[in-house]
């Protein structure tokens, strides 16, 4: 199976991150199509993001209201014209050679429905840097949307990222749910090659401060209300089961 760089569409949800968006869009040569989906930003940030995207040759669309990153990603994926989707956040960036590297991986693994290259996080608070060990780094890489590459046909068949309101809470989790589902219904690979540079945002920092390594596993030392009540776990399981049902009849 021949894979070409023209087969990648990068989808970037944007919410009041216009200052970092130029960095995310700087690697235009790594994919044929770039789509920025504004998720109800303030007017000033909306206008700045539109100008930045258009200047970079990216398509810019607005949801008109804040619906969350899952909805923004899903909307962008629905507009994509290439067979592989690449998801980035507005403060992420791909390393030079990202497109060619992923192209090579897919050529060698044509059966893969999704692949997640490793992510290097920048901007971690100084008190967390020593705690960001390899095990926890790998675990974080496997559940973030930053740099996730998915076959568009599979993504749409799954119904995209879950948009349940519980995922808008402090724990997030729509990316965890999606990767869990993809791992169970398709061929998902974690690739320990660092091809994405991400800024350490609120969810990751919160995750690191609420976890530790114990017996070779990541365990939580503190839970959000959604985690404590089981609401988050139920939403993830509901989504995974729904995807399995969809794919069973697809």
Cα(50)–Cα(58) distance, rounded to whole angstroms?
A: 9
Confidence at residue 2, expressed as pLDDT on a 0 to 100 scale? 45
Count of domains observed in the chain: 1
Give the Cα separation of 242 and 131 in Å (integer): 36
pLDDT at site 208: 83
User: What's CA 181's distance to the chain center, in Å?
Assistant: 14
Report the CATH number at residue 34: 3.90.550.10
The C-alpha torsion from 47 through 170 and 220 to 115, rounded to 10°, is -40
Average pLDDT over residues 61-79: 97
Q: Is the pLDDT of residue 142 over 70?
A: no
The C-alpha atoms of residue 242 and residue 250 are separated, in whole angstroms, by 12
Domain with 200, as residue range(s), is: 5-249
Does 158 have pLDDT greater than 80? yes
The H or E element containing residue 149 is strand 148-151
Ranking 16-20, 168-172, 239-243 by mean pLDDT, the lowest is 168-172
The reported pLDDT for the residue numbered 232 is: 94
Over residues 189-240, the pLDDT tens digits come to 999 999 999 888 777 788 888 888 888 777 889 998 999 999 999 999 999 9
Query: If you ran DSSP here, which 8-state letter would residue 165 be given?
Result: G
Q: What is the pLDDT of residues 164-194, one digit of tens each?
A: 999 998 888 999 999 999 999 999 999 999 9
User: What share of the chain has pLDDT > 70, as a percent?
Assistant: 95
């Amino acid at each position: 199976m021949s894979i070409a760089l023209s087969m990648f569409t990068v989808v970037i949800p944007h919410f009041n991150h216009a200052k970092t968006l130029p960095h995310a869009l700087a690697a235009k040569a790594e994919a044929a199509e770039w789509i920025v989906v504004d998720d109800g930003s303030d007017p000033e940030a909306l206008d700045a993001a539109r100008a930045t995207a258009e200047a970079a040759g990216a398509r810019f669309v607005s949801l008109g209201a804040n619906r969350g990153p899952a909805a923004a990603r899903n909307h962008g994926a629905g507009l994509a014209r290439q067979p592989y989707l690449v998801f980035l956040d507005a403060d992420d960036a791909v390393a030079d050679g990202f497109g060619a590297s992923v192209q090579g991986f897919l050529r060698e693994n044509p059966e893969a429905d999704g692949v997640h290259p490793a992510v290097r996080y920048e901007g971690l608070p100084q008190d967390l840097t020593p705690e960001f060990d390899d095990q926890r780094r790998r675990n974080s890489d496997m559940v973030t949307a930053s740099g996730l590459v998915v076959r568009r046909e599979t993504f749409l068949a799954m119904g995209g990222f879950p948009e349940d309101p519980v995922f808008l809470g402090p724990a997030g989790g729509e990316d965890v749910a999606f990767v869990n589902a993809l791992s169970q219904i398709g061929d998902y690979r974690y690739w320990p090659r660092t091809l994405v540079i991400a800024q350490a945002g609120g969810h990751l920092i919160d995750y690191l401060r609420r976890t530790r390594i114990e017996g070779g596993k990541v365990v939580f030392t503190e839970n959000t209300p959604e985690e404590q009540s089981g609401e988050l776990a139920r939403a993830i399981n509901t989504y995974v089961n729904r995807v399995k049902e969809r794919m069973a009849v697809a």
